[in-house]
Amino acid sequence: MNRNSKIYVAGHRGMVGSALIRNLQSKGYQNIITRTSSELDLRNQTAVADFFADEKPDYVFLAAAKVGGIWANNIYRADFLYDNLLIEANIIHSAYQNSVEKLLFLGSSCIYPKLAPQPLKEESLLSGYLEATNEPYAIAKIAGIKLCEAYRSQYGCNFISAMPTNLYGPNDNYDLQGSHVLPALIRKFHEAKISNHPFVEIWGTGSPRREFLHADDLADACVFLMETYNDESFVNIGTGEDVTIRELAELVKETVGFEGELRWNTDKPDGTPRKLMDVSRLHSLGWQHRTDLQTGVSATYQDFLRNQEVYV
């Protein structure tokens, strides 16, 4: 990319897309195209085709997706599969038809088998059964990876894929029914603190281990890959470090200043026992994360306090 390249960021209002916009602008990229979901329904093949034909972007960051936590993934299984398949298929195909120079597709660490060896290596894809609770979302993301590989193989398209670990940061989803674990904990502990509630209930046993990457670090890695990486193999993006959900809860509790107790609802699912990314491929390319978890959670809570009227 050069500073005058026409860059389309799909999903620019989300946590990842907005972080991409901030990172690109900080690096001097100004010719950035965006559309809200009301302006362009990415599930509509004709609308997406017309958009690409009119705008002719040079580069595409495919960060648009229907996302959510365990509850949302498990309840809205058809929506998560259908919407994500349509979004990625429409954008990838239109990128090919309009000779986009390069596209970056963003997947998810849930693409890996539930019991894949830890840390998760890129080579483990399709080596076993998926976690049942988010299988539809995972299948959609695997399809996106394979679409990029297929368009590269058949048409020579420079389409690459990156698999981020669990993310957090500004513009996250704080809805308690649809959010991921970290924003849900921030909201739960904050509301319990404000209402002087004696305890906070958390799903599961607290034993699963998870890795967390700040959205601004992800955006920096994505721009780095777009500028420097052109291989077929997808790349994990993470920190290479994980914590238990119990440790995460204690960190958020301390950050928020909640003084009550934690209650673990063991009738609720834990999900995958561990999800830690092997990031040796990314490190070998010359990129590493910058934001440690404590610093990131503190900054994210301050962002929540400033914007809770929007988030809640």
Tell me: the pLDDT tens digits for 175-216? 887 778 899 999 999 999 999 999 999 989 999 999 999 999
Residue 167 pLDDT grade (very low, low, confident, very high; cuts 50, 70, 90):
very high
Calpha distance 155→226 (Å, rounded): 19
The 3-state secondary structure of 30-42, one letter per residue: CCEECCCCCCCCC
DSSP H or E segment with residue 256: helix 245-256
pLDDT per position as a tens digit, 16-47: 999 999 999 999 999 999 999 999 999 999 99
Calpha distance 270→285 (Å, rounded): 34
Q: Which residues are annotated as part of the binding site?
A: 11-17, 106-109, 141, 164-167, 180, 188, 203, 210, 270
Spot the catalytic one: 112, 137, 151, 229. 137
- How far is the CA of 56 from the CAs of 30, 59, 155, in angstroms? 16, 9, 18
pTM score, two decimals?
0.94
Task: Please tell me the class of the 7-171+211-241+276-291 domain.
Answer: alpha beta
Average pLDDT over residues 130-159: 96
Q: Which residues are annotated as part of the binding site for substrate?
A: 188, 203, 210, 270
Q: What's the token pair of residue 310?
A: 């929007």
Q: Which residues are annotated as part of the binding site for NADP(+)?
A: 11-17, 106-109, 141, 164-167, 180
Q: Is 151 tagged catalytic? A: no
